[in-house]
Structures are given as C-alpha cells and as structure tokens.
Amino acid sequence: MEIAKQNNFEELIDNVYQTHYLLQQNAQKAINLNLTIRNWLIGCYIVEFEQNGEDRAKYGTRLLEKMAKSLKVKKIKGLDAQSLRVCRTFYSVYPQFLKIASQKIQNLNHIRIRGSVTRELQDEHPILPEVLLSRLSYTHFVEVIRKDDPLERLFYEVEAIKNNWSVRELERAIDTGMYVRTGLSKDKEAIIRKFKNQKPAQNLDVFRDPYVWEFFGLEERASYSESELEQAILNHLQEFLIELGTGFCFEARQKRITLDNIHYRIDLVFYHRILKCHILIDLKIGKFDHADAGQMNVYLNYFKENEQTDDDNPPIGLILCGDKSETLARYATSGMDNQLFVSKYLVNLPEKKVLEDFIRRELGELMNDKQ
C-alpha cells in the first residue's frame, strides 16, 4: 500500500513538472514570436513610409530620431533611434516573414511589399520562416543581421538552430569569425565541436532578455552592479548629490543604452535644472583607466543624439573612481566649448574634493563593516 502511494506521489510530481516545463516553453515561444513580429512590423512601417509616405519629405533624414521622441512620449520603452534602425534592417533582411506577420495582425491592408520579391527570397532561403521564428529569438536575429553576406547569415542561422546556441554563444561565434575559420579549416566539424560543450540556454533566459522587458513596458531589475561595494556606494551617492541642493534632479539608475545589440549601463543619470543638461555618473571600484573615459564618451555622444532636447546644454559626465589607497574624482567634459557654460558648470557642480572625501569615507565605512 505504501509503495503504491509513493508511486502515485512521484507520478503527481512528474505530471506537475512536465506540465510546468511544457507550458513554460510555450510561453517562451509566444513571447519571442510576438516580440520578433512586432519589431519586423515596425521595420515594415518605416520602410513603407520612407518609400511611399506622402508627408515623408518634411521629416527629412532625421525620421528615426523624430519617431523615437514621439514614441517616448507615448511611454513605449526601448524604441530609440538606434533600435528603430535595427528594426528597419531586420525587415529588409527578412521580408519573407510577411505571411506570418499578416496572420498575427489582420489589419495590414495599408502595407505593401512586392510579392515577387517575397516569393523569390522564400524560395532561395532553405530554412522555412516558421522554423526561423520558432527557434531564434529577436536578439538572435539582431546578431545575425550584423552580417551583410546572405551565405554567412545562413551559416549562423543553421548553426544556432542546430546547436541550440544562446544569444551569447552566437555572439561569440560571430565575433571570433567562426564562418571564416570554418571555411578555411580542413576539419570543419572540429571548429563547430568546440561550441558543443557549452551550457545550454535555460528557458527562463528569455524573461531576462532586456528586449523582452521593454516589450512589456517593465523596468529591468537593478542586479548588475560590478560589486557589492559599488552597489552600496551608489545607494548613498544618489541621496548625497540630491541633498547637496545644487540642482540635481534624479532621473534614472542603471540606465541601459543599447548599441549594436550590446547593452551598456550608466550607474546614475540626473538632470541638472540650473545647468539644463543631463549629468551622467559612472562609478568604478579601482583606479581610473583610459577605457573609462572612452566609455563615458560613448555615453555622452549617445545622450547628445538621443536624449538632448533643443533647449538642453550638452551632457556632462562624471567618472568617480576609488580604491582603498586613494580616491579620484574625474570630470569628463567632452564637447563643453562654451566658456560661459563651463564657468556655470564649475560653480554648480560639487568640487572634486567633496566627491573624493565622500567616496573615501564610504569605502572606509564599508570595508570596516566587512571586517
């Protein structure tokens, strides 16, 4: 009797597990498919507008930048100018997804694409659209469309599907030139085998994908700080700058920007009401390195192009670096050529010594707590 009960219990657990796993997979596929189709349609809308829109001329060459600003007003996350540009490329590379997109969204009467081109591309592509969309996420596609050669794209599509590559594995394969190395190698299978021992992607990875978070209009979890010390200092730094009373208005924390499918995060973003500009703060535990300045320069240029309004001054970057022996506060002032603005900047931002003392004090307290 006890054995029968035990068997029934194990069967119960197995049924729950199998049901959970199956429906979780179904949810993953549904999310990936809808996100991919949405971005394909966005690219389609853009191309159709550029080719046939009656009022396209008045928007000129800055269509995507103006679109991004309008979509931001509508609270749609993740569609900055760069993301819209990727959507446009995605549509151009995969026009054969039209049929599936039409099935998903029925009101596509205003969208036109030459049927002969679509059929030609479908006939030439050996992988059915249904297979591509069911096995690859949008993030996979963003990696693949980095390549202009259709044969090279096909190589990475086939290998990603065949080997169940995660996005990071696909990215590493592309970045290390696997297509070229495989073509030059006599033992082509040996090149591929090196990737087969990687840890397989987990079903829940899709729910950690930043594209998915934005698709649902959700905020990402701030769980990607470099270290526990850095996180603790950021907690206090945010309050510290606001309490200085010099015009800092908190805007974002761990602000993510995406360039060519690579995600970067700015530790703190403020808007300064006196200087009328964004203040970007990057905190590094350790000594200042030239790469830190280069990274901040990328952030500043991104904000100039995508976040700065006509009334704003250029953004300012603060790189705060520290270690146990010394603390350095470094200002990055790229593009600040207006002398009047520079003088206002020096008056309204805290002195370097204030920031140095703050970081030194924080590090000291945190290290004492660890002992």
More confident position, 77 or 231: 77
Q: Which of 245, 247, 93, 66 is nearest to 157 (CA)?
A: 93
**Would the pLDDT of 324 be above 50?**
no
Whether residue 292 contacts residue 299, with contact meaning beta carbons closer than 8 Å, is answered with: no
Averaged confidence pLDDT in the chain: 75
DSSP string for 76-95 = -TT--HHHHHHHHHHHHH-G
| Highest mean predicted confidence (pLDDT) among 15-24, 263-272, 285-294 | 263-272
Q: Which value, to the nearest 10 degrees, does the dihedral of the CA atoms of residues 37, 55, 302, 271 take?
A: -110
pLDDT at residue 222, as a whole number: 44
Separation of alpha carbons 182 and 188, rounded Å? 5
Mean pLDDT of 68-89: 89
pLDDT surpassing 70 at residue 329: no
All structural domains of the chain, each given as residue ranges with its CATH number in brackets, are 2-215 (no CATH), 228-370 (3.40.1350)
pLDDT tens string 96-132:
998 888 887 775 555 554 443 344 444 567 788 999 9
Q: Is 61 left (phi over 0), alpha (psi -120 to 50) or beta?
A: alpha
Residue 75 CA to residue 68 CA, distance in Å, equals 11
- Residue range 81-98: average pLDDT? 92
What value does the mean pLDDT take over residues 71-92?
Answer: 90
- How far is the CA of 167 from the CAs of 43, 80, 164, 172, 201, in angstroms? 21, 22, 10, 9, 9
Evaluated on CA atoms 170, 176, 177, 182, the torsion sign reads negative
Is the per-residue pLDDT at 159 higher than 60? yes
Q: What is the pLDDT of residue 92?
A: 93
**pTM for the predicted model, two decimal places:** 0.58
pLDDT at residue 344 greater than cutoff 60: no
Highest mean pLDDT, choosing among 17-21, 58-62, 64-68: 64-68
